Structure 1
Amino acid sequence: MRAKKFRSNVAAVIIHPTENKVLMFRRLGKEKNSELFKVHGKLKWSWQFPQGGVDEGETEEEALFRELKEEIGTGDVKILRVGGKRVRYHYPNKVKRVMDQNIQWRQFYGQQQRWFLLNLNCHTDKISFNHDPIEFDTFQWIRPRKGLRLVVPFKRKAYRKGLRMLGVL
């Protein structure tokens, strides 16, 4: 059996153009997306930034734009800053147990994220949640410190590091 590793991932922080706020997204609840709930369980109704894995042969920037398009319906952003180091977090045991049932996910014991600070080039009315599977149901501009309290507990330390690295905290 191969040793487990961290999954390469990108995280997208969209900053408000005039206020000290970031755009955060609320994960869907169980009744709207049962497949996603099976993997993420307690994550329903928690808030987070768009994020996702880097596919084989894909650059981190390509993954960033693909994930934004898939998760929020638009990749119309400008990259302002890229975090210098990847930020890691481990999956808690409950999440690992569920992920171990999926051959694609069982090789990972956490994620390592490259953080990107972005400006949204379009109005927020261009944001949509039409991709399958739908991951979010709403969004809100939130002050970064308040946003940290809304993030699922096992990701908070990574979020704090990522936001500090980008100069948002």
Structure 2
Amino acid sequence: MLTTDLPYRPCVGSLVVNRDGLVFIGHRADGPEEPEGPGSWWQMPQGGIDEGEDPETAACRELYEETNISSIRLIAESRDWFTYDLPPDLVGKAWKGRYRGQTQKWYAFAFEGEDAEIDIETPGGGHHKAEFNAWKWARLEDLTELVVPFKRDVYARIVAEFADKLK
């Protein structure tokens, strides 16, 4: 099967900004068996959309399941879906070989809680292993350089689309 014959995995992502204008970013805790390969990069919370699930609901669920964050207010939704392809060496391995990459709807949320709410070791939902092994607040303009190279174009587009809405 050719790479182009595979579909994109439908996903959502959450850009969470605190009161200081900084964005939540987590350091991947992936091992070599994980869909996108061993993690050694930072990324914003993201994940798959369940069958029949509304994308905004999925974004809130994934955010909670990965970070325990629930004290949020929606700021904006991306106009379009952003798509990226996996590197060739991961196609056929990631997500059981069913997808060539992801197509993502992104949401910007204001974090209205306190940092103590964030728990990446035992996040909400109780059925997922930790996605992240560290987290921090980062400047919006630094996000693109912190993420794995194959996601940089998507992150640049997210930053460009949400920058004015976060001021």
Which TM class, normalised by the smaller chain length?
0.7 to 0.9
2:134 is equivalent to residue 138 of structure 1: yes
Contact (CA 8 Å) 1:115, 1:166: kept in 2 or not? no
Counterpart residue number, 1:161:
157
Of the three residues 11, 25, 35, the one matched with 1:39 is: 35
Distance 1:58 1:29, change over 3 A: closer
Code of the residue aligned with 1:152 in structure 2: it is: V
Structure 2 equivalent of residue 60 of structure 1: 55
Match of 1:25 in 2: 26
Alignment match, 1:14:
16
Runs of 4+ in 1 over 4 A off after TM superposition: none
- Give the CA deviation at 1:57: 0.8
- What is the SS of the residue equivalent to 1:138? strand
Report if the CA contact (8 A) 2:19-2:112 is conserved. Answer: no
Q: Give the 3-state SS of the residue equivalent to 2:92 in structure 1.
A: helix
- Larger helix proportion, structure 1 or 2? 1
Matched, 1:110 2:111: no
Task: Give 1:150 deviation, angstroms.
Answer: 1.1
**Deviations 1:86-108 (CA, angstroms, capped at 9, x unpaired):** 111001112213226x2xxx231
Give percent identity, aligned residues only.
27
Mark the runs of 5 or more structure 2 residues left unpaired by the alignment. Answer: none
Q: 2:109 aligns to what SS in structure 1?
A: strand
Letter of the structure 2 residue corresponding to residue 73 of structure 1: N
Q: What residue is the counterpart of 1:4 in the other structure?
A: 6
Alignment of 1:76 onto 2:71? yes
2:145 to 134, 149, 153: 149
Unmatched runs of 5 consecutive residues or more in structure 1: none
Q: Distance between the aligned counterparts of 1:117 and 1:75, measured in 2?
A: 13
Measured in 2, the distance between the counterparts of 1:141 and 1:69 equals 17
Matches of 1:125 and 1:18 in 2, distance apart? 16
Instruction: Decide whether the 8 Å contact of 2:41 with 2:148 is kept in 1.
Output: yes
SS at match of 2:57: helix
* Structure 1 residue 94 corresponds to structure 2 residue 89: yes
